[in-house]
Amino acid sequence: MRSRPRRNLVRVIIFGLFLLARFGSAWAARAAGVEKHPFGINDYSALHQARAVAISPDGKTILFVVSYDGDKGNTKREWYLIDASGGNRRKLELPESFEPQDFMKDGAALYGKLDVAKKGQLGIVPLDAAKPTLIISLANGVSRAAISPDGTRFALNSDPRAKDPLAEVRHVVENDVSSVYVSSANGGD
């Protein structure tokens, strides 16, 4: 059993740590010239969120996205590549409506959803800006794409039904219909 002076000393130390934790940050902020203020819309629009999207096939490069709301408009996204070691971060210049999903087998291009005529199609965008973008399109757009393990084919989900000519004025509530389509990675078959 501990003696009374020792227990009191432990209580004083714990209380001192509590006070330091509670008021230390406020004192440090005042000393640094930073004033506290309520969290507002300007603070929210300045927040940035980053998440990893894919790792290159050789495991040396990571694709990640930084999202933020900004002052107005939709959420903004900036796409970056970074070495697995954490160095050599570089921003990618991608088509505005392109949302990368993963790397191609050779690691020289990204594939993902690319909006074409208000429909999401499969886009293959090379990391070298001098090379052209390949678009694999289906009549009703592509809702999802997955690359084969060998990197030579894509499995694509799409609605197989013919387009409704009155879709703009008539809205029918029904279950989604989806079929699987297979395409070569070069878009030929």
Query: Is the pLDDT at 2 greater than 60, yes or no?
Result: no
The pLDDT value given to residue 29: 61
Nearest-angstrom CA–CA distance, 180 and 31: 62
The pLDDT value given to residue 68: 82
Closest CA to 76 of 55, 54, 99, 53: 99
Reduced DSSP (H G I as helix, E B as strand, rest coil) percent helix, strand, coil of the chain, to 5:
20, 35, 45
Q: pTM (2 decimals)?
A: 0.69
Note the pLDDT tens digit of each residue in 116-158: 888 888 888 898 888 888 888 888 888 888 888 888 888 888 8
Question: Which residue, chain included where needed, has tokens 């408009």?
Answer: 73
Q: Is 112:100 a contact under the CB 8 Å cutoff?
A: yes
Query: Is the pLDDT at 1 greater than 80, yes or no?
Result: no
Note the pLDDT tens digit of each residue in 28-65: 666 666 677 787 777 777 777 888 888 888 888 888 88
CA distances from 40 to 45, 58, 73, 74 (A): 9, 43, 18, 19
Average pLDDT, the chain: 80
Nearest-angstrom CA–CA distance, 59 and 63: 11
The pLDDT value given to residue 65: 87
